[in-house]
Structures are given as C-alpha cells and as structure tokens.
Structure 1
Amino acid sequence: MTELQPKISFQHVSKKFGDGLKSFIALNDLSLDIADGEIITVVGPSGCGKSTAMNIVAGLIDASAGQCRVSGNSVKGPGPDRGVIFQQYALFPWLTVLKNVEFGLKLQGMGREERRKRALHYLELVGLKEFADAYPKTLSGGMKQRCAIARAYAVDPSVLLMDEPFGALDALTRVKLQDQLLETWAKDKRTVMFITHDVDEAVYIAHRVVVLAARPGRLQEIIDVDLPFPRNEEIRLSREFAAIRNRVWRAVYDQ
C-alpha cells in the first residue's frame, strides 16, 4: 500500500535570525509531517519557534536550512493554497464585512456576482451573513475574527494557518469560536495548523498536539488526541480529555 503524501512537511527545517554575536536560532532541525485534512495544534513556551514555523509554511519567511513542502511542492512564497489568520484581524476598516471577504477573490480576478455569492456563503458559514453591510468598527472582537476566518476560507485554501487567532478574546467567545472552527472543518476537512498558548484549546480542537521546546526552538513531543469528533462540552469535561491535557501541560512546562 502506497503511503499518502503529507499535506505539509517540514524536513530538517531551521531558521536563524541576525548575524554574528546578535544572531539566534529560532527553529532548529524541525521534521514534521501533517496529513491532508488533519488539525495540528502547536504549543510551547515563548521563543520556541511556533510562529516562525507557521510563517515558513505561509511563505512569509524563508528557512535557513532544510525544506518545507506543501502538497509536495517546496514553499517559495505566499500562495492562495494557504490561508493565514493572525491574532490581529487585519480587516480593512474602510470596507464592509462583505467587501473584506470579497477582497482576495477580487485579486484573483473573480467576477462581481460570483465573488459576492461566495463571500455570502462563507459569511453564512461563520454566522455573519446579516452583518454583511456593517463596517469592522461596529463588530465585536469575536465577530471580527469570524470575518477574518470567512475571508481566509473564501479564497478556498487547502491549508489554514492560524497564529493565536483567539488569544485576545474573552473565554466564552473563545470557546464558541473553537466550536465554530470545528463545525466548519467538519464540512470541508481542510488541513489546519493552529498555534496557541492555551493547553485546553490545543487539546480540544486537535488530532495531534505538537510540543516545541525553546532555546533553540525544536520538537519536544507529539501527543495524539484520541478523542472522537464532533467535540462537545461533554468531551471537554471528560476524564480522557483531562488526562491528555495534563500530559500536554507537563510536556510544555516541565522543560
């Protein structure tokens, strides 16, 4: 039986910033394969290279050594196959919610009617269709992040890269968006690489939790999350969840 090609592959990837005495290694010899349709969460102490790894996949920075591949192709820069969502929503304040979601589609040359139809579809998916004509300043933090998610989904990326996307939100909104992400994933099974400092969040949404160690950033441990989908509050409060959470916690903080 032929082994399936990973969707994302880090092959001995390292990243060094600066020169001479001021240089430092942010990521050291990372090898990791992420399957098509898999949700991977990445945790670890500050300075362990979580965002560096994601930015390499996104094509925003180049690796100093090794190779990163997406769908078997070496990453040479940003591309429409990878949607990126940061903690800061980066919405255009002068555009409506609908126009923000349409923005990437317009850059792709999609016609007005088609891009409006697609944008409204993804706004409905994240529960924002009724706010299509609103401007970002009128939205709550959670609504802005859902708009950013809809915009990333609209360009139809096969990979979704999320760097602390819910980190600035209140606890209740954060939990709701975790469930929203999993509901959306269940419909299209995109590959997700999700960076977080929240261990509960890391366990709740993932198939596997990747733990990185700092100084220099390197792979510490990969922990399988053997919990069924769809996830719900019952699973979040289960003994099985607590056992995995405690294992991840020890891997992160007992370094």
Structure 2
Amino acid sequence: MDTVISIRSVSKTYESSRGPVTSLSQVDLDVAQGEFVTLVGPSGCGKSTLLNLVAGLLRPTTGEVLVNGEPVEGPGPDRGVIFQQYALFPWLTALQNVEFGLRLQGLKKKERRERAQRYLELVGLGAFGSSLPKELSGGMKQRCAIARAYAVHPSLLLMDEPFGALDALTRVQMQDDLLATWQQERRTVLFITHDVDEAVYLAGRVIVMSPGPGRISDVIDVPLAYPRTEEMRLSPEFAEIRGRVWRGVHHPPAVATPVSEGALK
C-alpha cells in the first residue's frame, strides 16, 4: 500500500520569551493510502504542531515531512484541513462555501455546482445548499466544512479536534457520518482528538503521544471491522483497546518508549 505521509526524525522548537521550547522531538511516522489514523495525547504533547507540519502551516526545525513522496514546503490542494472552528464564510450559502475551493481551482460553474451538491448530499446536507451558516446547527456547519474539504479531491484529510465544540449526542452522530463518508471515499485521514473513545471508534490505528517534548510512545492497532457500530462501543474488544489507549494518555512513561520504524508502517 502506498505511503501518503512520511515523517522522518522531525523535531520542532519554538522561540519564547523564556528561551527555546521544544514541542516535538524525533518523531517518525508513516501513514498509508486510505488509512484512518487518530492522534491522542495530553495537552501540550505537540499533536496540533505535528498536524500543522503535515499541512505545511509550519516548518520542522529538524527532519523532514513528505506527502505523496514530496517534501512539504507549504499548504497545498493535496491536503484538506478541518479545524474545530468551522471557518465558513458567513455571507455565502452552504453550497457556495463548498464551491469556494473549486472556484479557486478554476472549475466551470456547472461542474463546480454539481460537485458541490454531490458532496453536500454525501454529508447529509443536500437539502440545505441555499442555507447560510447562521441557519445551520453546529453539527451541520461541520458537515459543510467536511464537504468543502472533500470537494477539492485532496489525497489527505487533516482534522484537528473537528468535533470538540459539539455536544455529546451530536459528536457521536458526526463520528458515524464521518466514517460513512470515509468508507465511500477512502481518503487518507489524520485525525487529532482528546477523546479516547473517539480515537478508538474512528481509527484503524491510534498514535499515542507523550508530553513535553512530544514523542510517539505507542502505536495501537484497532482490529475492529468497519462499519463501526454502537454494539462495538460496548464490546469487550473495544474496552480492551480503549484501556490501553487510556493508560498511554493518562499514565505515560517518564521517557517515551522507542518505537521502531517498522512498527509505524
């Protein structure tokens, strides 16, 4: 299977008023085509920094980040980024928001309208194309943001706590909706969350990061079949995996356990 993300010996140091602060130290990770990978870890472990390096919004201090075999030099259309904030244009309708990236790509009006409508329907918003963001609930706004990211056909989706601001019931529904969309499209996904249950429920692999400076302390396979179901959340298999992730997040080793490169593939 082709590798979409290759992170090689990446460290990131910021300058602060108190001197250099190292957010990430010697991180290695491969993510394959079509994988759904979640990143979990305590606050300040560098999860968002790592995602921003892959997005091209930051540059590593040392090491390199490759996407589809090419060094990441900045943002690009091959990567769709979805944050906790919906970042929709309030003066544009849902359909026009999804069309925005397609307009930048130079698609003709008919083609971009048809593609935008297709992705609104894919995320369950087919009947809300003419609605403004203020007329949509929080979950609907996030669905619109996901449709906008999918519509430009990125090879990689980068999601930073996209459901963090939603209530518990909406969050669970959004997880199921995201997985349904992913199963149809099979885009590669790197998804950051603080929620251990969410990390296990969504992923084929969970990457656990240790704090200060951030390192990968564990890589946990989730051998649960898709589609995921409510019954799976209550199964002993889910509980076992969840327990391992929970311990990794809440009781990390004093020094991160080295993980071989082969284990990350």
Q: State TM-score, norm by structure 1.
A: 0.97
Extract structure 1 runs of 4+ deviating beyond 2 A.
19-22
Cα distance in 2 between the residues matched to 1:183 and 1:192: 13
Code of the aligned partner of 1:36? Q
Alignment-mate amino acid for residue 246 of structure 1: G
Aligned residues: 252
Matches of 2:2 and 2:87, distance apart in 1: 33
Q: Does 1:162 align with 2:172?
A: no
TM-fit CA distance, 1:5: 3.9
Deviation string, structure 1 residues 58-101 (Cα, Å, up to 9, x no partner): 00111111000011111111111100000000000010111000
Contact 1:42 1:194 in 2 (8 A): yes
Give 3-state SS (helix, strand or coil) of 1:47's partner.
coil
CA displacement, residues 13-59 of structure 1 (integer Å, 9 cap, x when unaligned): 11111168422001111001011100000000001000000000000
Mapped contact 1:162–1:192 kept (Cα < 8 A): yes
SS of 1:27's partner is strand
Task: State the partner residue of 2:257.
Answer: none
Deviations 1:195-236 (A, max 9, x none): 000000000000000000111111111111111111111111
Cross-structure match for 2:149: 152
1:176 is matched with: 173
Aligned-partner Cα distance in 2 for 1:5–1:176: 31
- The C-alpha deviation readout for 1:155-209, integer Å capped at 9, x for no partner, is 0001000000000001111111111111111112110000000000000000000
User: Residue 33 of structure 1 is aligned with which of 14, 26, 30?
Assistant: 30
CA distance in 1, matches of 2:120, 2:63: 38
* DSSP 3-state at the match of 1:23: strand
Residue 193 of structure 1 pairs with residue 190 of structure 2 = yes
The answer to whether structure 1 residue 125 and structure 2 residue 122 are counterparts is: yes
| Equivalent residue in structure 2 for 1:95, among 89, 92, 95 | 92
- The runs of 5 or more residues in structure 2 that have no matched partner are 253-265
Q: What is the aligned counterpart of 2:228 among 208, 212, 231?
A: 231
Matched-pair identity in %: 63
Answer yes or no: is the 8 Å Cα contact 1:10–1:30 preserved in 2: yes
| Aligned: 1:84 with 2:81 | yes
